[in-house]
Amino acid sequence: MHKGFLTIYWRDMLRFVRFRTLLFTSLIQPALWLAFFGIAMSNNFERLTATLPVIPGVRTVGYLTFIGAGVMAMTTLFTSLFGGTVLLFDKNWGLMRETLSSPLPRIHIIVGIGLSAMTKSLIQAAVIMGFGLLLGVHFFEGYTATQILISLFGIMLFIGAFSLGFLFLSAAIAITMESPEGMQAVVTLLTMPFFFTSNALYPANSFPPVLRALSAINPLTHLVSGIRYFAIGSDFSSIGIRYTYTQGEAITSFVALLAFAAVMFLIARWRFTKVTVT
Amino acid sequence: MAQVSHKGFTEAKNLFITEDSIFLREKVNGVLVLEDNIIEVNDLEYSFGEIKAVDNINFVVRRGEIFSFLGPNGAGKSTVINILTTLLPMQKGKVIIADHDLRTEPEKVRESIGIVFQELTLDRDMTVRETLEYHGRLYSMPKAQRQARVNELLNLVELEAKRNVLTRYLSGGMKRRLEIARGLMTRPKVLFMDEPTIGLDPQTRIRIWDYVRDINREGTTIFLTTHYMDEADQLSDYISIIDHGQIIATGKPWELKNALGQDVIYLETSDNQGASDILKKLETVRGVRDKSKGIIVMVNVDGTYLLPEIMDKLRNGGIKIRAVNLKKPSMDDVFVHYTGRELRDTGTEKAVVVKPGRR
Ligand SMILES: Nc1ncnc2c1ncn2[C@@H]1O[C@H](COP(=O)(O)OP(=O)(O)OP(=O)(O)O)[C@@H](O)[C@H]1O
Ligand SMILES: [Mg+2]
């Protein structure tokens, strides 16, 4: 097999490692979300829900734990959706001419960039999770070491599949757009519906039907549910609402994420066959 | 001639090409024929929407030669290079490069070529070594070969000292040299160079010319574009003059110059029109062309001996001569001769600045 995508991966990671400020700045925003929004809101919710009866036999988790998964997912969404920007810059600064005039099949560019964005997302998610645990997010409570390892692996799979899908989407946009400003606008516009129709920060159960339907097909919802399934458990309650999430549902979510990634890959590939750089 | 003949000898077919084969460059029954062509371009056309950037271009490049496109800004040089290097799709025509059809086997063509682009295309966030390394990897070069080649090339372009420096910290000339090294990384059969010395100081230009000759001597065919007359003149085995998307003339530098006659005489007189009329009647005069203040007389014989006669003729005709200059035809003259306008009108003499590093 042609290992060209590793070349693309290598180059992108090289730049990532070299410019650590990029990594740090990309971590600051989610950290702030957790630290300010998370802690402030959890105090409010705790006060509001203190009077509600505890559902018997079900573990209750705090709001901070609830949105811990949401913030991880949200960060992955942002990082992945903006991850393709590098292709736009490569294109505009002529750097991509070298790659496009080489014998490397174009599909390798997509795969290579996809893998490097996935790596970055995983690193980021791990750091945010660590930060969350320090702040008082109660993940993996009562888990054995083996269960924690399995859970971590599951979370990685979910984040990996999700970030690939959105990176492919981002790559397709980047290769189609002319200017970084345009890309910025489109991506910002895109993040909104994904973000607000998901269950990242608040429960989706209380949405009106239309929003609930949107939420159900939203990949971000599937990612958040997946992370909660592995990090908190299949049956828990938070801010007075009970969440159950079976193994079957988790598998369905994962398959949905894979399907989303596959479709986005096809779109990116189609956009790449159209690109001419001069 | 001697200096040309060693190039005519090709490993591939043990075919010896003599100077006489020049005529084969012409179309025979509408088809370009010559066995050892590494590039064959037939009826190439390209339009950006309404703008016809390349208009029915035909040419061949033989294995081992340096072939130049000489033309002003916007002539279509880069567009031709972009098509030949597969960056722009083929719209009309047929192109064979290193025995592969550009339309049906673009990947094979990509494997056979190297490119030095007109604009800088270096990643500012990579070091000199990584830039070459990346390129080698793109072409699936084995590791050992990659490393050996990097060392060899850094040596050639005198950048060993900058090996681990980010390209953003290189000077413009160093960047250009690095790009040339990159183009050579994979030992391409054909190296395309789009205005390789644009914006460089005279010393650096001469050094780059030396590299180009070295590379060529090692067997790489070079296709370069330029709007510098001296560059085309100094480097090329063949030159095609291109303007408005069309090839206007093709030949060896001396052939092109000979077409203008043996010498060129510049005259400023009290009556340029009258002088022109008188001189046009002379058999030894090949042509007369107007300049802003004077006239250019192209002559078929040694101008040193013809000049006194010309001056006598004009004086007898009552025309006063204010200034005289005699010289061999230059590429500038050739260009004006074929295009009817001066290259420098289109900004050649202005300092052309290489785009500063981006990002
Ligand atoms: N991407 C493009 N879109 C539209 N028109 C273009 C594009 N690229 C080039 N052209 C047009 O095609 C013509 C030929 O341009 P080209 O870049 O090939 O010229 P050139 O000979 O390389 O000039 P220069 O010496 O300035 O580099 C010009 O009229 C130019 O405006
Ligand atoms: Mg050009």
Q: Nearest residue CA, atom 4 of ligand 1?
A: B48
How far is CA A135 from its chain centroid? Answer: 21
**Could you give the percent of chain A with pLDDT greater than 90?**
31
Quote the mean pLDDT of chain A. Answer: 86
Instruction: Report the gap between the CA of B348 and the closest CA in chain A (Å).
Output: 22
Selected residue of B88, B138, B186, B191 to mutate for chain A interface (largest A Cβ count, 10 A): B138
Task: Identify the residues whose C-beta falls under 6 Å from ligand 1.
Answer: A 278; B 48, 51, 53, 71, 73-79, 118, 227
**Ligand 1 centroid distance, CA of B163 (Å):** 34
Residue in B52, B73, B78, B193 to alter for ligand 1 test, most ligand atoms within 8 A of Cβ: B78
Closest CB from A10, A15, A103 relative to B139? A103
Name residue B249's beta-bridge partners.
B241
Interchain contact, A101 vs B86, CB within 8 Å: yes
Stated pTM of the model: 0.79
Residues 339-358 on B with a CB inside 8 Å of A are 358
pLDDT tens digit sequence for A26-71: 778 788 878 887 778 777 777 777 677 667 777 788 888 888 888 8
Instruction: Report the gap between the CA of A103 and the closest CA in chain B (Å).
Output: 5
> What does DSSP assign to residue B122?
-
Neighbour order of strands in the sheet with B263-269? B285-290, B295-299, B263-269, B321-327
Q: What is the pLDDT of residue B84?
A: 94
Which of chain B's residues have a Cβ under 8 Å away from the Cβ of A278? 78-79, 82, 87-88
Give the residue numbers in A contacting B (CB under 8 Å), as ranges: 2-4, 6-7, 10-11, 14-15, 18-19, 89, 93-95, 97-105, 276-278
Q: What is the pLDDT of residue A106?
A: 87
- The per-residue DSSP string of chain A comes to ---HHHHHHHHHHHHHHH-HHHHHHHHHHHHHIIIIIIHHHHHHHHHHHTTSPPPTTSEEE-HHHHHHHHHHHHHHHHHHHHHTHHHHHHHHTTHHHHHHTSSS-HHHHHHHHHHHHHHHHHHHHHHHHHHHHHHT---STT--HHHHHHHHHHHHHHHHHHHHHHHHHHHHHHHH-S-HHHHHHHHHHHHHHHHHTSSSSS-STTS-HHHHHHHHH-HHHHHHHHHHHHHT-SEEEETTEEEE--HHHHHHHHHHHHHHHHHHHHHHHHHHHH----
Q: What is the pLDDT of residue B333?
A: 79
Q: Nearest residue CA, atom 22 of ligand 1?
A: B78
Domain residue extents for chain B: 7-256, 261-341
How far, in Å, CA of A20 to CA of B314, rounded?
Answer: 78
How far, in Å, CA of A20 to CA of B310, rounded?
Answer: 76
Q: Which residues of B173-212 are buried (b: 16+ CB within 10 A; e: fewer)?
A: bbbbbbbbbbbbbbebbbbbbbbbbbbbeeebbebbbebb
Assign domain B261-341 to its CATH architecture: 2-Layer Sandwich (3.30)
Residues (pLDDT < 50) of chain B are 1-34, 344-359
How far, in Å, CA of B174 to CA of B196, rounded?
Answer: 12
Name residue B247's beta-bridge partners.
B242
Q: What is the pLDDT of residue A262?
A: 96
Taking the CA atoms of residue B297, residue B301, residue B305 and residue B308 in that order, the dihedral angle to the nearest 10 degrees is -30
How far, in Å, CA of B31 to CA of B25, rounded?
Answer: 10
The SS3 assignment for B335 reads helix
Which of chain A's residues have a Cβ under 8 Å away from the Cβ of B358? 93
Beta strands in B17-176 (DSSP E): 27-28, 31-32, 37-48, 51-62, 66-70, 92-97, 100-101, 113-116
Domains B7-256 and B261-341 share a fold: no
B41: left (phi over 0), alpha (psi -120 to 50) or beta: beta
Structure tokens at A275: 């690109």
| C-beta separation of A198 from A73 below 8 A | yes
Q: What is the pLDDT of residue B24?
A: 42
Which of chain A's residues have a Cβ under 8 Å away from the Cβ of B139? 102-104
Interchain contact, B82 vs A100, CB within 8 Å: no
Q: What is the pLDDT of residue B35?
A: 54
pLDDT surpasses 60 at A204: yes
pLDDT tens digit sequence for A151-202: 999 999 999 999 999 999 999 999 998 888 999 999 999 888 898 888 888 7
> Looking at domain B7-256, does it have CATH number 2.40.110.20?
no
**Ligand 2 centroid distance, CA of B127 (Å):** 27
Interchain contact, A4 vs B140, CB within 8 Å: yes
Backbone angles phi, psi at B43, to 5 degrees: 50, 40
Q: What is the pLDDT of residue B227?
A: 85
